[in-house]
């Protein structure tokens, strides 16, 4: 299947700092990427849909000014958690649409805010 990578895989930061997470499609071009987060022992929750060259569409309850998404190319989408706080600690996962019907997921980024 198609390969989606994320970087970094794990990040620890101090409260108030900003963290950028990269999501790359390695062997295909993705016009649409999705960002999810997963709290411990919970399921994945969609945060936003990222379309190349346009603004992201955020799910209800997700602050667009706090979670900045940029999809500047067909192989890269970035999620920046601005002014991170301990409650933002979570597992962040991106996925990319492949063809018409399939989505492939990245390995995830574990964010810990101290």
Partner 1 sequence: DAKTTQPTSMDCAEGRAANLPCNHSTISGNEYVYWYRQIHSQGPQYIIHGLKNNETNEMASLIITEDRKSSTLILPHATLRDTAVYYCIVSLGGANNLFFGTGTRLTVIP
**Binder among 19, 81, 95, 96 for partner 1 (CB under 8 A):** 95
Q: Is 28 in the site for partner 1 (CB under 8 A)?
A: no
Element (H, E) at 12: strand 10-13
The residue (of 6 and 77) whose beta carbon lies closer to partner 1 is 6
Q: Is 107 in the site for partner 1 (CB under 8 A)?
A: yes
Site of interaction with partner 1 (CB under 8 A): 1, 4, 6, 32, 34, 36, 43-46, 49, 91, 93, 95, 97, 100-108, 110
């Amino acid at each position: 299947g198609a390969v989606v990578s994320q970087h970094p895989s794990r990040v620890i930061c101090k409260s108030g700092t900003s963290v950028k997470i990269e999501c790359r499609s390695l062997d295909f071009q993705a016009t649409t990427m999705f960002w999810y987060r997963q709290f411990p022992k919970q399921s994945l929750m969609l945060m936003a849909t990222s379309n190349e060259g346009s603004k992201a569409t955020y799910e209800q309850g997700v602050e667009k000014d706090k979670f900045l998404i940029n999809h500047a190319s067909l192989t890269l989408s970035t999620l920046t958690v601005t002014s991170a706080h301990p409650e933002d600690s979570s597992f962040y996962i991106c996925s990319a649409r492949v063809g018409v019907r399939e989505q492939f997921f990245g390995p995830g980024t574990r964010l810990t805010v101290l």
